[in-house]
Amino acid sequence: MKTINIQKSKKCLICNNDINPFISYGEMPIANGFLNSDNFSKEYFFHMQVAHCTNCNMVQLLDTPDKDLMFNENYAFFSGTSNVMKDHFKNFAFQVKNNYLNVEDPFVVEIGSNDGIMLGNFKDWGIRHLGCEPSANVAHVAKEKGINTIVEFFNEDLAKKIISENGQADAFIAANVMCHIPYFHSIVAGISLLIKKTGIVIFEDPYLGDVIEKTSYDQIYDEHTFLFSVNSINYIFNEYGMEVVHIEHQDTHGGSMRYFIGHKGVRVPSKEAVDQLAKEKKLGLDKPETYTKFRENCEKSKVDLKKLLTDLKIQGKRIAGYGATSKSTTILNYSDIGPDLIEYICDNTPIKQDKFSPGKHIPIKNIEHFKENYPDYAVLFAYNHAKEIMSKETDFIKNGGKWILFVPNVHIVN
């Protein structure tokens, strides 16, 4: 099968090398842009293509929509919709507090702090903290809980403003946001100024190695400008006098990496960090062939999913989706799956309910609708929350329902 529309070459956002896309996913809408039917005709689309830079090894989108189209007062992702993630971020916060804040009057800065799922812990412990969160609606939830939050995009200028008002930070933390930011040089420059000489930077994002290994191409969408690896992160931080000193793999979001970064020479890089740099080369994350194979795997996954759903539909089965994730926007639009195959998608986020999915316009319903209208099959778009969701939805199985998963390959859970 041929890949469509591979068009232009561009400069790498990290090292300015020439880059060429290895895959096009076609025209894509805003992944979190759940919409009402009167806005269908105004919907925004962009051409989603991905490239690997052979110089610095950063995997990146060629084009991204303007940031205000994605992050604004109608942002649809509220971190607090998962109890498992609440525990995950509590443990993250404990790790920061216990290992890195043993100083007088410590100061913690988080970007992409959303509804305060992580920073709320520091607030409860009476630790000086500041969240930078540009999406006003989610920031409002954090502020209501008494969490110090500024409604702004983090960049180098904002870092200077934070320093002038609060002094330098002991810890800079972030989850699932660093990979969202195309103006990454400004971010790293800002961090290198903001963080004290002995301070620590800790952030986590979906990991390139997992995406390649599991063909979880749904991690690629407008917000995810980058798919990070330890090598590509080390490359850019090195340019600002910093280095990766430790890493920890996480199970969240289908496989993530937590990076620990300090000013060069302050901490000795751990064995885990050093080994992972070498392991990525062994896995071929620096080789163009790896991305050619990944493209073939994506194309197979797309065909397999559409075929399975079409076959079930021909047999008269009813199919729904579970979890109106941003990830599902890529799956549905790339695989050309619409309301003719998937009747509705249920989700526990009020702002998404009674709207339609981006691009394909599948109705989004609340969880009660699922319970009252059990389908024969449910595609688990929020597969990264499989444990939490499957343990809540045991009645669906008792009623004869079956889950469909598409990572690491398309299959029915029996």
Total residues contacting ligand SAH by CB under 6 A comes to 20
DSSP code string of 281-301: HHTTTT-HHHHHHHHHHHHHH
Binder of ligand SAH out of 154, 203, 377, 396 (CB under 6 A): 154
353 is in the binding site of which of ligand SAH, ligand TYD, none (Cβ under 5 to 8 A by kind)? Answer: none
Name residue 281's amino acid.
K
Tokens read off for 56? 């610095």
384 is in the binding site of which of ligand SAH, ligand TYD, none (Cβ under 5 to 8 A by kind)? Answer: ligand TYD
CA–CA separation, 206 and 251 (whole Å): 9
Q: Quick one: 180 or 360, whose CB is closer to ligand SAH?
A: 180
φ/ψ bin of 141: left (φ > 0), alpha (ψ from -120 to 50), beta (otherwise): alpha
Contact 218, 382 (CB under 8 A): no
CA–CA separation, 92 and 90 (whole Å): 5
Name residue 268's amino acid.
V
Q: Which stretch binds ligand TYD (CB under 6 A): 10-18, 129-137, 181-189, 318-326?
A: 318-326
Q: What are phi and psi of 226, to 5 degrees?
A: -125, 150
Is residue 382 a contact residue for ligand TYD (CB under 6 A)?
yes
Q: Quick one: 231 or 256, whose CB is closer to ligand TYD?
A: 256
Is residue 22 a contact residue for ligand SAH (CB under 6 A)?
no
Least gap, CB of 255 to ligand TYD (angstroms): 13
Q: What is the DSSP letter of 230?
A: H
Binding residues among 109-128 for ligand SAH as defined by CB under 6 A: 111-112, 114, 117
Give the per-residue contact string, 24-63, with ligand TYD (x = CB under 6 A; - = no): ----------------------------------------
Q: What is the DSSP letter of 362?
A: P
Closest Cα partner for 352 from 329, 371, 375, 332?
329
Q: What is the DSSP letter of 270?
A: P
Q: Which stretch binds ligand TYD (CB under 6 A): 126-134, 181-189, 290-298, 323-331?
A: 323-331
138 is in the binding site of which of ligand TYD, ligand SAH, none (Cβ under 5 to 8 A by kind)? Answer: ligand SAH
Closest Cα partner for 33 from 398, 359, 391, 387?
359
Q: Which residues make up the interface to ligand SAH (CB under 6 A)?
A: 71, 75, 77, 79, 111-112, 114, 117, 132-135, 138, 153-154, 175-177, 180-181
Q: Which residues make up the interface to ligand TYD (CB under 6 A)?
A: 77, 81-82, 323-327, 347-349, 382, 384-385, 388-389, 392
